[in-house]
């Protein structure tokens, strides 16, 4: 019987390397593909970039690590460039959301538009049966064509939150070989195979861009527009550099002092370019028990308005019990009896049935009872 062909998104890190090992052990015909999705010089990535004076940029270091891993594991490595696709499909949206005072999650869009779309299309064109990624998630493919996605075994590394906008068609061609492993086990396997990258640190920062001084990084693309910082009753207590630099619930970096409790961000008045802050007992204004969401992507069975689901409103955030109701025209109401803190427009609400990923949607408006929060 002919082996199924799988191409692994080989990033130069330990997770994708162990994916190759697991797939080879399972009897697949495996090759690797390195994605180049960001060009700092072409994309004016200057301010906030700690690597502008490096002899070799981090992406090329990752590519060389991927080459080394491929040689050590005896597989072929391809290289593909999605710089234009990443800019058009992910980064433009990312910047537009910040311009509108919202807080987007580029990693989710990066998965749905690049890793599981541009990359998948390229892989299928090249004749592969599946793509595989080093995500900490589990997927079950059934003979009838149906599938389920479950949280990764390692709860500290689970990445199903970032997969919530993937379609069933995309997931049909996806494998997650390390989803049933703890991170420590992944490291152990890499060391057992004497991989050079066995102890390499995990990548952090914006998807495919990396670590940046985020405030300075945004200045490359959005002109700073200073404005007032006000309390809930309209008292001006300071000035901000631009409301896109601040997130709901933020405490540090506000430049506000004085006696009393620490200040924190309560919301944003986009029309007036005002950052709204509070202190002490005013934290109650950060809480909500209802939100409206759009861009719903549902991969489980049909949504049941009478069923209690679980929701995460941010990566590594706690689970909240919720009920979801369709309001029409692509808008859904999410009710959560246990109040949640700092639910933020632009972020994603990700839904589960126990351990199973059911889907996700973008948060648009946030309410405490019938009062809309100014966020």
Give yes or no for a contact between 18 and 135, defined as CB atoms under 8 angstroms apart: no
Give yes or no for a contact between 104 and 51, defined as CB atoms under 8 angstroms apart: no
Among the listed residues 19, 110, 164, 291, the single catalytic one is 110
Give yes or no for a contact between 171 and 139, defined as CB atoms under 8 angstroms apart: yes
DSSP SS3 for 244? helix
- Run of H or E residues at 257: none
The DSSP annotation for 139-201 comes to: EEE-TTS-EEEEE-SSTTT--GGGGTT--HHHHTTEE-TTTTS-HHHHHHHHHHTT-TTTTPP
Give the residues across from 333 on adjacent strands.
292, 325
Give yes or no for a contact between 130 and 118, defined as CB atoms under 8 angstroms apart: no
Give the residues across from 311 on adjacent strands.
320, 351
Taking alpha carbons only, the member of 285, 299, 333, 68 closest to residue 167 is: 299
Among the listed residues 19, 57, 164, 207, the single catalytic one is 207
For residue 57, indicate whether it is catalytic. Answer: no
For residue 291, indicate whether it is catalytic. Answer: no
| E strands present in the chain | 5-9, 29-36, 77-81, 130-132, 137-141, 147-151, 174-175, 227-230, 236-240, 263-269, 274-279, 287-298, 309-312, 320-328, 331-341, 348-353, 356-368, 371-372
Q: What is the DSSP letter of 1?
A: -
Q: How far apart are CA 375 and CA 371, in angstroms?
A: 12
Which tokens is 189 given?
């396997």
Q: Which residues are catalytic?
A: 110, 207
């Amino acid at each position: 019987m002919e082996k199924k062909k799988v191409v692994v998104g080989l990033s130069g890190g330990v997770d994708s390397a162990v994916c190759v090992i697991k797939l080879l052990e399972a009897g697949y015909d495996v090759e690797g593909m390195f994605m180049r999705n960001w060009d700092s010089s072409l994309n004016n990535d200057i301010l906030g970039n700690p690597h502008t004076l490096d002899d070799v940029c981090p992406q090329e270091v990752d590519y060389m690590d991927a080459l080394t891993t491929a040689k050590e594991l005896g597989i072929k490595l391809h290289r593909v460039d999605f710089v234009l696709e990443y800019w058009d499909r992910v980064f433009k949206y990312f910047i537009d959301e910040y311009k509108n005072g919202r807080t987007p999650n580029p990693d989710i869009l990066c998965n749905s538009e690049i890793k599981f779309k541009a990359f998948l299309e390229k892989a299928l064109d090249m004749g592969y049966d599946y793509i595989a990624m080093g995500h900490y998630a589990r997927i079950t493919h059934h003979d009838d064509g149906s599938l389920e996605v479950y949280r990764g075994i390692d709860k500290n590394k689970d990445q199903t939150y970032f997969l919530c906008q993937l379609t069933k068609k995309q997931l049909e061609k996806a494998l997650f070989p390390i989803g049933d492993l703890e991170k420590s086990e992944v490291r152990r396997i890499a060391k057992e195979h004497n991989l050079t990258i066995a102890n390499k640190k995990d990548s952090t920062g914006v998807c495919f861009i990396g670590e940046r001084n985020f405030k300075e990084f945004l200045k490359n693309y959005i002109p700073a527009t200073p404005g007032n910082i006000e309390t809930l009753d309209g008292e001006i207590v300071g000035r901000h550099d631009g409301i896109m630099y601040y997130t709901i619930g933020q405490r540090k970096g506000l430049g506000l002092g004085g006696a009393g409790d620490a200040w924190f961000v309560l919301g944003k008045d986009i029309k007036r370019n005002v950052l709204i802050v509070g202190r002490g007992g005013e934290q109650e204004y950060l809480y909500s028990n209802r939100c409206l969401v759009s861009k719903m992507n549902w991969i489980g069975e049909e949504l049941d308005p009478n069923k209690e689901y679980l929701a995460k409103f941010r990566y590594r955030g706690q689970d909240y019990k919720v009920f979801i109701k369709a309001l029409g025209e692509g808008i859904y109401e999410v009710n959560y009896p246990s109040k949640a803190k700092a639910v933020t427009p632009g972020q994603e609400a990700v839904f589960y049935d126990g351990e199973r990923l059911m889907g996700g949607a973008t948060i648009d408006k946030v309410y405490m009872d019938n009062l809309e929060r100014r966020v």
